[in-house]
Amino acid sequence: MYNFEYHKAKNVADASALITQKPEAKLVAGGMTLLPTLKQRLAKPSDLVDLNGLSELRGIKREGNAVAIGAMTRHVEVAESAEVKKAIPALAHLASHIGDPAVRNRGTLGGSISNNDPAADYPAAVVALNATVITNKRKIAADEFFQGMFETALQPGEIVTAVSFPIPEKAAYMKFPNPASRYAIVGVFVAKHKDGVRVAVTGAGPCVFRQKEMEAALAKNFSADAIKSIAQKQDGLNGDIHASPEYRAHLVGVMARRAVTAAG
């Protein structure tokens, strides 16, 4: 690992000021991606600004018809939260299958979505649940937040503080995990809202995306049968040693049907 200067942020404004002053600085949340990246010398930040210890960024609150989760809330806290299990069980289920227990004890919601790994689980939940990403500067709609591989709408100095997840009528997340890393080879989050259905796919492409053909079919008839004949196009999907684009396209259909069935 290359050396860097370490700063423990005193509050969000302090963290934002530090990363604004130092263009090569990086924020560290759970560090579950950043630290392995640094150890492999794939990144060389001048400074690390640590958000651990900012208790104002942690916690789970029911707010009207939504559940707001602080950016520094660990995966284990979401997985075990009685509030989340009651309001959006699919979200607790998703969190309980990220990585492994030691990763879930450190990894955070804000870190996961800000990194926007193409195979991360949380982006699928944020998009399918039509969540709002709250930062120290503004509110960003899920459809605008994820912009490409490891790319988000976050601007310099901008820090995710929380995510507000509207409570759907029903929802489920199904993933086909890589057996070693538990990252999604393909993961599909299906959510039925009062005003329509959203189907978000992670792992398959360079960035989470909505399967709008399935959304339209499920809005008319929320059943696995309704999407049986919809084939995901292979164009632009990821191909690597784990799965070809053809296989991933096939898995999108399988995981979507399983998710619809699981949602009930």
Minimum CB distance to another protein, residue 78 (Å): 14
Q: Which is nearer to another protein, 20 or 181 (CB)?
A: 181
- The arrangement of strands across the sheet holding 160-166 comes to 60-63, 66-70, 160-166, 132-135, 139-141
Chosen residue from 181, 233, 240, 246 binding another protein by CB under 8 A: 181
Residue of 12, 15, 29, 31 interacting with another protein (CB under 8 A): 31
Identify which range of 14-22, 61-69, 176-184, 247-255 contacts another protein by CB under 8 A: 176-184
85 forms part of the interface with another protein (CB under 8 A): no
Choosing from 15, 27, 32, 259, the residue that interacts with another protein (CB under 8 A) is 32
**183-197 CB burial, b ≥16 within 10 A, e <16:** bbbbbbbbbbbeeeb
Pairing type for strands 47-50 and 60-63 reads unpaired
What is the Cα–Cα distance from 260 to 264, expressed in whole angstroms? 7
**How long is the chain?**
264
Interior angle at CA 229, CA 213 and CA 256, nearest 5: 65
To another protein, the closest distance from the beta carbon of 221 in angstroms equals: 35
Give the pairing of strands 25-28 and 47-50: parallel
Q: Which of 43, 89, 105, 193 binds another protein (CB under 8 A)?
A: 105
Tokens representing 226?
């309704």
Only segment of 32-40, 81-89, 142-150, 236-244 that touches another protein (CB under 8 A): 32-40
Nearest residue to 196 via CA among 160, 228, 227, 170: 170
3-state secondary structure of 67: strand
Q: Which long-range contacts (CB under 8 A, 24 or more apart) does 252-255 make?
A: 252/186, 252/188, 252/201, 252/204, 252/211, 253/227, 254/176, 255/174, 255/175, 255/176, 255/186, 255/187, 255/188
Judged by CB under 8 A, which of 1, 13, 141, 149 binds another protein?
A: 1
Minimum CB–partner distance for residue 53 and another protein (Å): 9
One-letter amino acid at 131 equals A
Number of residues that bind another protein (CB under 8 A): 29
**What CA–CA distance (Å, rounded) separates 227 from 129?**
19
Minimum CB–partner distance for residue 222 and another protein (Å): 30
Binding region for another protein (CB under 8 A) out of 37-45, 60-68, 108-116, 146-154: 37-45
Among 17, 103, 219, 224, binds another protein (CB under 8 A): 103
Interface mask (CB under 8 A) for another protein, residues 38-77, using x and -? xxx-------x-x-x-----------------------x-
* Binder among 26, 80, 89, 210 for another protein (CB under 8 A): 80
Interface with another protein (CB under 8 A) = 1-6, 8, 31-32, 35-36, 38-40, 48, 50, 52, 76, 80, 99-103, 105-106, 180-182
